[in-house]
Amino acid sequence: MTTTASQPFDTIKIGIVSISDRASTGAYVDKGLPALQDWLTRALQNPLQFEPRLIPDEQATISATLIELVAAGCSLVLTTGGTGPALRDVTPEATLAVAHKEMPGFGEQMRQISLKFVPTAILSRQVAVIRDQSLIINLPGQPKSIQETLEGLRDSNGELLMAGIFAAVPYCVDLIGGPYLETVVSVCKAYRPKAAIRPTPNT
């Protein structure tokens, strides 16, 4: 997508999916979608177009929703919820079912971050995959955990102790032919090889 003087960064369409039986029926207020939208808005300089979905823990529904969002042009799709070992937790299965490539490093890093807080992080089953030219990532269900896994861990002085997974997202999106994501460095500094870094456009 061509940038202009008035819009120096590529627009990116992002699918955000909260998966919960109870929230999807209105039994309680969903916190996943607001948490995802808030963090992404703070972390990215690009103009963002969100495609939000609140759906139950039904494998066929989850897979269909992911396929729909990719077909709609979402370069990035983030899900929250349904990644534990409970019987109704089927988000990883639904995600793998629509995958063209699996990206296991994302899930490995999310568990490493969560293990800094609770030993039960080993029960999480988040996966990340590529479908066509879209990156799909399963995230934890709690807003605090969403932020930690995306952004990473910092000490009391704000120094980064462990990188979050989002540092690798922009370059991954580059490699699969998506738009160029520009992050807000104070929130999350994207990593790219020097040859892949574009000059910052004039604003």
Q: Distance between the two ends of the chain, CA-based, in angstroms?
A: 17
Angle in degrees, 0-180, between the axes of helices 104-114 and 143-151, rounded to the nearest 10: 120
- For residues 142 and 117, the answer to whether their CB atoms sit within 8 Å is no
Give the Cα-Cα-Cα angle 18, 21, 22 (nearest 5 degrees). 100
Q: How confident is the prediction along the chain (203 residues), in pLDDT tens digits per residue? A: 444 445 689 999 999 999 999 999 998 899 999 999 999 999 999 999 999 999 999 999 999 999 999 999 999 999 999 999 999 999 999 999 999 999 999 999 999 999 999 999 999 999 999 999 999 999 999 999 999 999 999 888 888 889 999 999 999 999 999 999 999 999 999 999 999 999 876 64
The pLDDT assigned to 145 comes to 94
User: 12-196, what's its fold?
Assistant: Molybdenum Cofactor Biosythetic Enzyme; Chain A (3.40.980)
Residue-range domain boundaries for the chain: 12-196
Question: Residue length, the chain?
Answer: 203
- For residues 52 and 33, the answer to whether their CB atoms sit within 8 Å is yes
The pLDDT assigned to 33 comes to 97
Q: Give the residue carrying structure tokens 């605090």.
A: 144
Q: How far apart are CA 192 and CA 151, in angstroms?
A: 16
The pLDDT assigned to 202 comes to 60
Q: How far apart are CA 90 and CA 94, in angstroms?
A: 6
Torsion from C-alpha of 60, 82, 161, 135, nearest 10 degrees: 10
The pLDDT assigned to 4 comes to 46
pTM comes to: 0.94
Q: Give the residue carrying structure tokens 């997508």.
A: 1
Using a 10 angstrom Cβ sphere, with 0-12 exposed, 13-18 middle and 19 or more buried, the burial of residue 147 is: buried
